[in-house]
Amino acid sequence: MPTYKLRGIDVDFPFEAYDCQLVYMEKVIEALQRRCNALLESPTGTGKTLCLLCATLAWRKSLGAFSTGSSKIKSEFLGSQSVVGSSQSEASNLPTIVYTSRTHSQLRQVVQELRRSNYRSYLIVS
């Protein structure tokens, strides 16, 4: 599996990346490092989901070890708020990554994409 060094982060990608994918992943990492929002677009079929997942998880991995232990997810639907807590993230002040989607079919696609990568061991589906 190829590894690309983007903004000082080693990103494992399951395929030889196209130039547009490398630029996309670099912009994802840049936004995360700068702690700012990013509006990224790319044509259909360019691997946006896989690029987003690999870049984000590589960035998070560079900050410290993941906890795949007991994550607690609490939702308060009445106030339209969700509270997500992870014992390791709270204790070490590391960010927790939460990926959401509108439909189950989109979530299935994301899980399939993540399973293609070296980051599949960080997958927690609830």
Residue ranges covered by each domain of the chain? 3-122
Alpha carbon distance 48, 43 (integer Å): 9
The whole-number pLDDT of residue 83 equals 43
Q: What is the pLDDT of residues 58-102, one digit of tens each?
A: 999 999 877 654 444 333 333 444 444 444 444 568 888 888 888
pLDDT at 6 over 70: yes
pLDDT computed for residue 110 by the predictor: 87
The full 3-state SS of 75-90, as one line of letters, equals EECCCCEEEEEEHHHH
CA distance 49 to 82: 23
Query: What's this model's pTM, rounded to 2 decimal places?
Result: 0.76
* Cα–Cα distance measured from residue 2 to residue 8, given in angstroms and rounded to the nearest whole number: 16
Q: Which whole number is the average pLDDT over 29-51?
A: 93
Task: Check: CB of residue 60 under 8 Å from CB of residue 90.
Answer: no
